[in-house]
Each structure stands twice: as C-alpha cells, then as structure tokens.
Amino acid sequence: MDLVTALGAEGLVCVVGAGGKKSTLWQLADRIDRAVVTATVRIPIFDPHVGAVSVTADPVDAVRGADTWPLGLVPERENDRYLGYETQTVERIVETGVPEAVLVKADGARMREFKAPNDAEPRIPAATDTVLPLVSAHVVGEPLTDDSVHRVDRVAALTDLSPGAEIRPEHVATVVTSPSGGCKDVPDGATVVPVINKVDDDTDEAIATRIATAILATDRIDRVALTRMAADDPLVAVLGD
C-alpha cells in the first residue's frame, strides 16, 4: 500500500497532533498530482516544500489559475510564519474541484512529540473527509513534561497521569482516540487515520505496534499507519483494515 492510500489522502485532509504534521503534509503533497497545502492556523514558511506559494485573500481564484503543483495557499505572512485561512475559506478551495487533495495543518504543537488540544483547536472544516491525528513513537517512555509534550495539563487530564510520570503506549492511544484529544471536532462522516510517526527502528516499531493495537481496540478507528516521514519511503506499516 502506498502512503496516499494508507492515509486516505484525497479531498479535504486535516493533519492534527504532534510529531510530524508538516513533514506529513510535504510527503503527501509530493505524491499527489494536484495538491494544495494550506492551514487554518499559523504555519512556518514552507516555500521549499511546494512548487509555488500564493499569498492571497482569494485562494479560489488562485487555485483556478494555478499551473504549478503542489500549490501552497495562505492569506498573509507574519514574520517567519504564514497565517491560516478561516475554515469556510478552505472549504471553498475544495469546492472548485481543481485540487485532488487539499492538505491542511489544523493545529499547532510547538515542535513537541505529543499533545492534546485546547478549547480553541483544532480548526477543522465541517466538510473534511479525513483527519490524521499524529503522534511520535519516541514519546513512549518519556516523562510527561513540557520537553516532549504540548499542553501537559490536558494530557494529564485525559490519561490520569501525573506530570512527570512515564508515558506508556496505552496513554498515547487514550489521547489519540479521545473526543477531547486526537478525535476532537472530527466532523460526522469523516475518516480518522491515526499516524504514529518517527518509527525509525525495530524498537520504535514494537512500541508503535502496541500503540496501534490499543487504538484499534476502540470502535472509532479502523486502521493506523506507522511512518517515518523523514525517509524517502515513509510508510512502515498499516495495521487494521
């Protein structure tokens, strides 16, 4: 199975969580003939990862006139980041029928390996087809601290872990599958495909498999992808259907 198929990356795809959101966007965009990369939150400057970037308040007009792919679409630059569009604007990009996929960064994680969302995120459009909650396999065995986790208090509340306690595979699975965690604000009918990233060796794969097995024990998730998004061939395995 190829990466695009494994992740269900067609239509409107939102990437959330931590541990490789941006590299997931780049890998998918590189494998889809007419992909748009955009965001509903701030996103670092990503011009080297796409064919062109259009900074525009009218992304519909930009995508209709596009001749270079993948295409980055953003409304405004602010220092070393681009701002994100409103969710309704992202939906209008999809409605043009021009892109094969619109790939959206829908929350932030401040370069951590694991996170839970706050009240204001994720910013997922109602018409989203697929949500990809990411987590890094490297967080297992680490203490629940700000060094590796974004919003320690939120993760602690979902897992009953105390700050500083060791993070285990079952804790990761709990957050990824929670309607207050990785599945927060997923629209009805959207497919959720959790992505366990940074599976860099056999030890990581064993850890990721334990996380995936716990995720698949829930009723909400049918498959989980194990990846190393920094590699040329990023798909390690697919568990589930």
- pLDDT digit string, tens, across residues 68-114: 999 999 999 999 999 999 999 999 999 999 999 999 999 999 899 99
Give per-residue pLDDT as tens, 161-212: 999 999 999 999 999 999 999 999 999 999 999 999 999 999 999 999 999 9
* CA–CA gap between residue 120 and residue 233 (Å, rounded): 34
Taking the complete model, does pTM exceed 0.75, yes or no?
A: yes
pLDDT score of 6 more than 90: yes
Give the DSSP letter string of 40-106: SS-EE--GGGSSEEEE-S-HHHHHHT--SSSEEEES-EETTEE----HHHHHHHHHTS--SEEEEE-
Q: Which residue has the tokens 């006139």?
A: 65
More confident residue, 180 or 241: 180
Instruction: Select the CATH number that applies to the domain covering 3-34+101-240 from these four: 3.40.50, 2.40.160, 3.40.1350, 1.10.3470.
Output: 3.40.50
Domain ranges of the chain: 3-34+101-240
Q: How far apart are CA 163 and CA 149, in angstroms?
A: 10
